[in-house]
Amino acid sequence: MILFVRYNLGPGVAVELQEGASVAELKKVVGSQQGVPPEQLRVLFAGRELQSTSSLLSCDLPEQSTVHVVPPPSRSSSSQLLLFQEPQGSEEEQESLTRLDLSSSRLHATPADLTALCVCTGVRSRSSFFVYCKTCRSIQPGKLRVRCRTCKQTALTLSRGPSCWDDVLIPGRIHGNCQSEGCCGNEGEFYMKCASHPTSDDDVSVALDLIMINNKNVPCIACTDIMGVVLVFQCSERHVICLDCFRLYCQSRLSERQFVHHAAIGYSLPCAAGCEDSLIKELHHFRVLGDDQYARYQQYATEECLLKMGGLMCPAPGCGAGLLECMGNHWFG
């Protein structure tokens, strides 16, 4: 497997290792390249320091991932670092961004549900995030990553992992220790990348937090089938709809121009069951419509916004331009 290694925040260097290689072997390769004893190196990935005894596969390092290898902390920062180091334990016990299950913050969770889940799987279920990837131009599985909010480098160890979607979406909820030289940042910034193909550092995707794996086997509110991937509305009842039915729901409401214009959210839809206070806040969920229908959605949203502002659509057939009254009786397109 090929990994991109950044030593002490230098440029990424491709390192080829056997698929079953350990973190210790990675340290040995980097140490020989940099002239540093391997036992003094620390490997950082996805907000945590990787143990030397762990295999790269057990750390959920996909092909062409970027890891940071940093020297030991200076004495002046050693006491601070102890606040953020991850507790020792087995690989399954260690917290990892790639093994999180945030579905309980969206789906209703009861002790009975969680017990049944543990009995069926035997281990904590792996995370399943979904994103809209602008490269794939579709909804794809995603991977969660974290970086320092100050310097935007991923050489950051977290004080704890996120336990709910608010920890991921709302800034400032989780702190950590940035290992970048000269950076004193202590706040984590979470972001998503597409898991379907290798990505560059700046190739980020929009998190679709309402789409998730249906690990509690909840039937779709529309077709009543139990589907593997569903969308969970943010109503008090947490109604579940499969993606096919959600697409049909969006298409029918779009054709009828029944989307709701909200001043803060935008052009959105509520729960399919008509629940109050359930408008979808992340509008990229409507990418499920496909490119053509989403373009129509954007057109209708623009027209609705224009009308709310007191503007007019050009009456000429096929024009589509908007007119907005400014400075007295003058109209501008």
> 250-296, pLDDT tens digit by residue?
999 999 999 999 999 999 999 999 999 999 999 999 999 999 999 99
Alpha carbons within 13 A on the beta-carbon side of 203 = 16
Q: For 125-183, what is each residue's pLDDT tens digit?
A: 445 799 999 999 999 999 999 999 999 988 888 988 888 899 999 998 999 988 888 88
* 123, pLDDT greater than 90: no
pLDDT band at 90 (very low <50, low <70, confident <90, very high): very low
Residue extents of the structural domains in the chain: 2-71, 99-211, 217-325
Q: Which residue has the higher pLDDT, 283 or 116?
A: 283
Share of the chain above pLDDT 70, in %: 79
Q: How far apart are CA 25 and CA 88, in angstroms?
A: 20
Contacts of 30 (CB under 8 A, 6+ apart): 5, 7, 15, 36, 38, 41, 69
Mean pLDDT of the chain: 82
pLDDT of residue 201: 79
pLDDT of residue 80: 42
Domain 217-325 in this protein, CATH class? alpha beta
* 84, pLDDT greater than 70: no
Pick from 35-44, 211-220, 304-313, 314-323: least confident? 314-323
Topology, domain 2-71: Ubiquitin-like (UB roll) (3.10.20)
pLDDT of residue 91: 43
pLDDT of residue 328: 53
pLDDT of residue 235: 93
Question: Which two tokens mark 207?
Answer: 């998190």
pLDDT band at 77 (very low <50, low <70, confident <90, very high): very low
Q: How far apart are CA 214 and CA 13, in angstroms?
A: 39
- Say if 2-71 and 217-325 have the same CATH topology: no
Note whether 315 and 298 are within 8 A (CB): no
pLDDT of residue 74: 59
Q: For 257-268, what is each residue's pLDDT tens digit?
A: 999 999 999 999
pTM score above 0.85: no
Q: Which residue has the higher pLDDT, 98 or 268?
A: 268
Q: For 64-75, what is each residue's pLDDT tens digit?
A: 888 899 887 654
- State how far Cα 225 lies from the chain centre: 27
Nearest residue to 71 via CA among 26, 15, 8: 8
pLDDT of residue 116: 35
